[in-house]
Amino acid sequence: MRCPVCGCLESKVIDSRPSENGSAIRRRRQCESCGHRFTTYERREEQPLVVVKRTGVKEPFDREKLMRGLVRATVKRDIDMATLDHLIDEVEGRVRDSGMNEVRASDLGDMVLESLLDVDKVAYVRFASVYRHFDDVEEFSRELGRLSREREEEVQ
C-alpha cells in the first residue's frame, strides 16, 4: 500500500479489525520510510449480479425494483421496511454465496417467495400472483389450497 505522504510502497500493519458493519477490514498501517500512520480498508470485490429474464434478456440486479414489488405485496400489512430490506439482503446473500454472477429471474422469484412465506402469507400470495402471472381465480384457489395443506402438515 502506497504511503499518502511519501509514496513509499513499504508499510507494516499495526492493527486490524472488522469495520462497524462487518463489510470490510480496517487496517492501521505505518510507512516503513517516513513513519506516517494511515488507515486502509480491505473489502471483498463484488461482482455485479445479473438477472436473466424468461426471454433471455439480461439486466443488472436491482434492489430497488425488488423492494417496489415487495412494498406492493405488503401494502396495509404490518411489515416494516427493515424486515423487507433484511429479506432482500438474505436473498442477495444466497445468490452471492452460490458463487454465481447470473441468476434466472424464476430462481430469484422462488427465493423471494420462500423468504416471504415466513414473513407474511398474505404478502406471499400477493407477490406470487404477480410473479407467477395468475390469470384467474382458479390459480389463486390452487395456491391458497397448497398453502393450507402445508400449514396443516406443519401443525401435525
- Could you report the per-residue pLDDT of 144-153, keeping only the tens digit for each? 777 777 766 7
- Kind and range of the H or E run holding 119: helix 105-119
Q: Looking at the structure, tell me whether residues 32 and 58 fall in a common domain.
A: no
User: Does 110 lie in the same domain as 55?
Assistant: yes
Q: Does residue 108 carry a pLDDT above 70? A: yes
Residue 87, C-alpha cell as written in the block? 429479506
More confident residue, 104 or 143: 104
Same-domain pairing of 79 and 147: yes
Do 133 and 76 sit in the same domain of this protein? Answer: yes
Is 108 among the domain residues? yes
Share of the chain above pLDDT 70, in %: 93
Residues 6+ apart with CB under 8 A from 127: 69, 70, 73, 112, 113, 116
pLDDT at 49: 92
Range of the domain at 91: 50-155
**35-63: burial string, b at 16+ Cβ within 10 Å, e else:** eeeeeeeeeeeeeebebbeeeeeeeebee
Is 80 exceeded by the pLDDT of residue 143? no
93 and 70 in one domain? yes
Shared-domain flag, residues 29 and 58: no
In the numeric block, the cell 405488503 is attached to 74
Q: Give the count of domains, the chain.
A: 2
Do 37 and 66 lie in one domain? The reply is no
The whole-chain average pLDDT of the chain stands at 87
Confidence check: pLDDT of 125 > 90: no
